[in-house]
Amino acid sequence: MRVAAIIVLSLASHLAQAESSFDLSVDARAIAVDAPTSYLYGGLGKLRFDDDHDGIQVGRVNAAWSQPIGETFQARVDASLWRFGDDNAFDLTEAYLEYRPYPANGWRSRLKVGAFYAPISLENREAGWTNPYLVTSSAINTWVGEELRTIGAEYSLGWLGTRTGHPFDAEFVAGVYGWNDPAGVLVATRGWAMHDRQTTLFGEVGEAGNGPVPGRTLFKEIDDRAGYYAGVSLKYLDRAELRVLHYDNNADSEAFDAGINDFAWLTKFDSVGLRVETANGWTFISQWLGGDTAAEPETGYEKWDFYSMFALVSKAFGPHRFSLRGDWFDMEHVVTSWPPAETDDGSAWTAGYSFDYGEHWRFSVEALEISSDTTKRAWIGEPPRATEQQLQLQVRYSF
Amino acid sequence: MAAGGSLDVHVVAHDGKAVVGAVVMLHGPAGSPPAKPGAFVVDQVDKVFQPDLTVMPVGSTVTFPNSDKVSHQVYSFSPTRKFQLPLYRGTPYPPMKFDMAGIVTLGCNIHDDMIAYLVVTDAAWFGRTGKDGIWTSAELPAGNYRAEIWHPRLREDPPVIETKVALDASRAGRIEVALSKSLRPEPLDARPKSWSDY
């Protein structure tokens, strides 16, 4: 008993030494939108908001906690609320333990265990996996935030060339994970989307039993097979970063989970992205992601191809930032036993301005237009072609 | 030995422009007294080391306070001095002594964009070139000198440029170093505090 008390006391004093940090932010929006019913509410609109969900809305309430443990471990938990009334309204987006041993002779290993984002996005680089350039993420990274999470372990080995007189750093990364078997279902059955809502670890996407996205669960182990990804990042000083990643969730596409009424979707893709920054405040980001997903119900093998790319240009003038992004996306049901094959292709333009007032406030305005041809809209009695427009004002306070 | 000679060291980029902030280390004739060690501070503010380069005599001490709200973990694996300071905020560690000449590259194991340099020198005279690309030293005794020139963005091979000059008291000495290659780009300004690694 006394020994236990001593251990607890010494652990507590150790934790107190390596102080934890707690961050909280509240993001409110004013939305004007001209778009069909959102996929979140039974439709096939590609936005978070629609004609019935506009005006003053919750953007996000985000709380993040980091706790150093000992010299080289750190725990991080990130939780968010996207809308009052969601089941598990306040839920986790990431929770992991990271081991960062000290670099030795120019090399460094890192190990992450828990639930976290794979290193795919080059635009979602702000705390909470937020996009600092535009409120709305690209179609690619909207999808990453919706369907992907590494729930497992990731190892990376970095060569710290810039610490040994070279202008380059390089990193190899590999992840092994489970609980991501449904990944692919949204892009296949709904198509691409554009917003900033990330799927929480215990949350669902869409309303149960309503429309093409009937309350999908994304993070579930169905086939007891681990997936993997492997990638490389190459950096030139702090000016440019190239990321390449191959992802394969290795799902058994015949496996079905009655509990969530969904298959294990065999999803594979490659992603290539480049970010370049200049000394006078310009940022250029471009990313391409393409792959396929398959499910195998008793009626036969079904396969969907998908790809998207975007190009973003942003210019900062002190606390002011102007950004413009073009997105192009395509999904095609290429092998099907229920013809005609569904397709979703389109493009989008997003233009935004943000102003950081001091350390705590951000004010943003963003205009977005998505034009898409989504054959599945016929299922819900809508014309396949739709142009969605959204204007949003954001006020965010970070504590 | 006659006193009073002066020396100008000009560092010029390959395009003819002045190289600002190049480190000049001047080794004098035998018997020149070494520079006196000092106490230096490399702070961490908004995830940036300040200053990003410090030139100091051998035997100097450096304190590494962390003025940020986030913890930093400072390391060097440079052969001149390998060390690591476990995660901290504030100033929990005593000053560290650097008693070997050479270049120490500092990093933070949490924030990979943080980089800074300590140049530890046994030269009797040292400094950095100004906006005109010139470093000047006066009151130099006559004799043979060896100058070492270094800059973190230099692409030359070997990375430290060496040159020799003989000084007498009657006229000002001058060394002109013209780089054969352009400098690497300068580091970007500090990124917003809220940015993270993903």
Q: Which domains does chain B have, with CATH numbers?
A: 5-32+123-178 (2.60.40.2070), 39-121 (2.60.40.420)
Q: Which two tokens stand for residue A214?
A: 């009937």
Q: What is the rounded average pLDDT for all residues in chain A? A: 93
Distance, in angstroms, between A120 CA and closest chain B CA?
8
Residue A308: strand pairing partners: A289, A329
Nearest CB to A100; choose among B69, B109, B196: B109
Opening angle at CA B26, ends B24 and B28, nearest 5: 175
H or E segment to which residue A115 belongs: strand A107-116
pLDDT tens figures, A7-28 = 444 444 454 456 788 889 999 9
Distance, in angstroms, between B103 CA and closest chain A CA?
10
Q: Is A126 within 8 Å of B86 when comparing Cβ atoms?
A: no
Q: Which two tokens stand for residue A94?
A: 């990431």
Distance CA(A124)–CA(A106), nearest Å, equals: 27
Q: Give the gyration radius of chain B's Cα atoms.
A: 18
Q: Is B184 within 8 Å of A167 when comparing Cβ atoms?
A: yes
Tell whether ipTM is more than 0.85: yes
Distance CA(A382)–CA(A281), nearest Å, equals: 43
| Per-residue confidence (pLDDT) for residue A282, from 0 to 100 | 95
Question: Is B80 an 8 Å CB contact of chain A?
Answer: no
Chain B residue with Cα closest to A71: B86
Interface test with B, best of A20, A71, A107, A359 (most B CBs within 10 A): A71
List of domains in chain A: 22-398 (2.40.160.10)
- For residue A271, the tally of other CB atoms under 10 A from its CB is 25
Residue that is written with structure tokens 């961490």 in the block: B44
Q: How confident is the model at residue A246 (pLDDT cuts 50, 70, 90)?
A: very high
Q: Is B198 within 8 Å of A129 when comparing Cβ atoms?
A: yes
| Per-residue confidence (pLDDT) for residue B88, from 0 to 100 | 86
**B-chain residues near A275 (CB < 8 A):** none
Q: Is A163 within 8 Å of B86 when comparing Cβ atoms?
A: no
Distance, in angstroms, between A349 CA and closest chain B CA?
25
Residue A244: strand pairing partners: A232, A272
**What pTM, to 2 d.p., does this model score?**
0.91
- Asked if A265 contacts A295 with a C-beta cutoff of 8 angstroms, the reply is yes
**B-chain residues near A121 (CB < 8 A):** 198
Contacts of B46-50 with CB under 8 Å at 24 or more apart are: B46/B190, B46/B193, B47/B108, B47/B111, B47/B113, B47/B114, B47/B190, B47/B191, B47/B193, B48/B114, B48/B190, B49/B106, B49/B114, B49/B115, B49/B116
User: B22: closest CA among B158, B119, B146, B142?
Assistant: B119
Residue that is written with structure tokens 């986030």 in the block: B70
Nearest CB to A19; choose among B71, B86, B194: B71
pLDDT mean over A42-68: 95
**How is chain B split among helix, strand and coil, in percent rounded to 5?**
0, 50, 50
| Per-residue confidence (pLDDT) for residue B4, from 0 to 100 | 63
